Chain A
Amino acid sequence: MEKVISITTPVTTEQIRELRAGDNVEITGYIYTGRDAAHKRLVDLVKAGKELPIDVNGQFIYYVGPSPAKPGHVIGSAGPTTSYRMDPYSPTLLELGLKGMIGKGKIAPEVIEALKEHGAVYFGAVGGAAALISKSIKKVEVVCYEDLGAEAIHRFYVEKFPATVVVDAEGNNLYETEPLKYRLP
């Protein structure tokens, strides 16, 4: 059986520092969503010294742009999008107390440094497991930037959202360590 750690949001830095790269987790509670355009707006506000429409302290942001919900569903398919596009913005949000990002694929060294500095982690969800992941999303509401459509900032209530710690708060990176163990000579 795969060992799974339950996490409930919001989280504290102490809780996050206990996580290790490779840990499988199930997240329950509210999480925010954001992609390229929403991140740009948030960081522009920070640069201008203005208040953000969401409080990221102790929270997670999920990089996702769901497909439309079919009638009778709360959401369409909702797997992670590629994280590196949000790299230019993540350190600013981590500085404000964001405790984790959920996405897929590599993140930049400066983002990993910011995770270490602020005690946060990077979770990977399985890219393409979008119908499966949608089952853990129970409530969906638009928080701001509605004009961005699928890219608006949403707040999801999730139950047992499946993810894996890819980079922990010490900077251990599963994408670096795991493939080496199985690479053919």
Chain B
Amino acid sequence: MREIKAEVIKDTVRDLFLHASSFIGEDLYNKLQEQYEVEESPVGKSVLRQLIENNDIAAREGLAICQDTGMAVVFLELGQDVRIVEGDLNEAINQGVREAYVDGYLRKSIVDDPVFERVNTRDNTPAVIHTEIVPGDKVKITVTAKGFGSENMSRIKMLRPADGAEGVKNFVIQTAVEAGPNPCPPIIVGVGVGGTMEKAAVLSKKALLRKIGEPNANPNYAKMEAEILEAIINIEYFPTHIAGLPVAVNICCHASRHAEKII
């Protein structure tokens, strides 16, 4: 049994959020450059130019790429041969978030109650934590700081099996078109298909973390991704019930801030 101190988890989470908030991934950076070259609309070109410049300034000066530094989402793949010692695992993650947002001058955007008082927790906790137990003795931590301009434009729908691939595509396109200019385009669209309602939603968030330009390994899904143009579409899928076809569409702005580390 490998032992990992809770403090190591905390420090890793903190460093990942600090990094992701100022440094956009190389895949996304290059995609913006590539798109700038081919963009036909003058407005579109001006927007892309500002975004590239913005990413340069943020990286150079260690500033937040966007003032909405998001709700902290943490995907944890915990090896079953790992034991976390000297502390509470979930609290270590939240402490990492706290330190990143308080010490790193990131905006605290979390309220304690969604409906009633809505009082700011002042340290951007709690994080949304998804833990999966996997074989091995490693821990993989993936963090994403999810802004709500785009999160608010996300949708979920339970389609009928008969709706099939066309139904999925139409729902994705409809969601993206309705979102229009609101979620800070150019956007990345994460699609989760199958499972149950919450499984589809989690998959759609995971789909956003995939490298830009990397298709789904299943050729049917890769083809569907390629057929839905005008945005970067990543689809993840999972087996589902005979009676259902859940589809979740999670939209992310161009500032898709995520980072990962294996301990």
Contact = CB atoms under 8 A, between A and B. Distances in A.
Contact of A131 (B64, B68, B230): B64
Nearest to A73: B63
Interface string A63-83: 011111110010011110110
Nearest to A2: B46
B66 interface: yes
B61 to A, nearest CB: 7
B66 A128 contact: yes
B64 A105 contact: no
Interface stretch (A10-18, A50-58, A94-102, A176-184): A176-184
A interface SS class? loop
Contacts of A133: 54
B64 A67 contact: yes
B201 to A, nearest CB: 21
A131 B57 contact: yes
Contacts of A162: 50
Given A68-B107, A106-B181, A82 B64 contact: no
Interface in B71-116: 105-107, 109
Contacts of B109: 65
Interface residues of B, number: 41
A135 interface: yes
Interface residues of A, number: 44
Given A69-B105, A76-B105, A127-B253, A132 B181 contact: no
Interface of B: 40-44, 46-47, 50-51, 53-54, 57-58, 61-69, 105-107, 109, 120, 147, 149, 152, 180-185, 229-230, 253-255
10 contacts: A2-B46, A65-B107, A67-B107, A77-B65, A79-B67, A126-B47, A131-B57, A131-B64, A132-B54, A132-B57
Given A68-B105, A128-B65, 18 more contacts: A2-B42, A64-B67, A65-B67, A65-B109, A67-B105, A67-B106, A70-B63, A76-B64, A77-B63, A104-B182, A106-B181, A124-B181, A126-B50, A130-B63, A130-B64, A131-B65, A162-B50, A178-B41
